[in-house]
């Protein structure tokens, strides 16, 4: 998942506005599904962000080409933890752990469909 930094992503400090790295990571999570002709909105519901632990290591700038790498840290009945890193070339500029909870269409916590679970494990493995 390659992402270009455009004007809209930067701020007056001359670098990418801090919350946009979260957006880049979310694009990569959604694109996992889209690339396999699936939607991140599952039959039963969808995932929402529950916890984030993020480290900002370097600043990305206008015009930079960034790559987002996503791996699965943990998968449970109704939640998953992903580890996401953003690189500019070989340089790691951002990393975060994000815990997602699966909600049904009423907004209640709900089991991740078995098929989506398997899909995620096949796509991005389990690290630990």
Comparison of 107 and 125: residue with beta carbon closer to its own copies? 107
What is the smallest separation between the CB atom of 96 and its own copies, expressed in angstroms? 8
Which active-site residues does the annotation give? 11
Rounded to 5°, angle at Cα 104 from 76 and 115: 50
3-class state of residue 4 by DSSP = strand
Exactly one of 36, 39, 77, 118 binds its own copies (CB under 8 A); that residue is 39
Q: Does 18 bind its own copies (CB under 8 A)?
A: yes
| Residues in CB range of 87: below 8 A, 6 or more apart | 66, 67, 68, 69, 93
- Write down the number of H helices and E strands in the chain: 2, 5
Q: Which stretch binds its own copies (CB under 8 A): 7-15, 83-91, 109-117, 118-126?
A: 7-15
Q: Which stretch binds its own copies (CB under 8 A): 52-60, 66-74, 84-92, 116-124?
A: 52-60
Task: Decide if 78 contacts 112 (C-beta within 8 A).
Answer: yes
Q: Does 55 bind its own copies (CB under 8 A)?
A: yes
Give the burial class of 28: count Cβ atoms within 10 A of its Cβ; 0-12 exposed, 13-18 middle, 19 or more buried.
Answer: buried
Q: Where does this chain bind its own copies (CB under 8 A)?
A: 4, 6-8, 10-15, 17-20, 22-23, 26-27, 30-31, 34, 39-41, 46, 48-56, 59, 61-63, 96, 107
């Amino acid at each position: 998942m390659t992402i270009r930094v455009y004007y809209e992503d930067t701020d007056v400090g001359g670098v990418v506005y801090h919350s946009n790295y979260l957006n880049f990571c979310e694009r990569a999570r959604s694109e996992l599904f889209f690339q396999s002709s699936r939607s991140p909105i599952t039959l039963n519901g969808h995932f929402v962000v529950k916890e984030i632990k993020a480290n900002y290591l370097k600043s990305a700038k206008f015009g930079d080409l960034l790559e987002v790498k996503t791996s699965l840290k943990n998968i449970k009945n109704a939640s998953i933890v992903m580890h996401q890193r953003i690189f500019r070339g070989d340089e790691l500029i951002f990393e975060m752990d994000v815990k997602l909870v699966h909600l049904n269409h009423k907004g209640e916590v709900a089991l991740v469909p078995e098929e989506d679970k398997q899909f995620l494990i096949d796509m991005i493995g389990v690290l630990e």
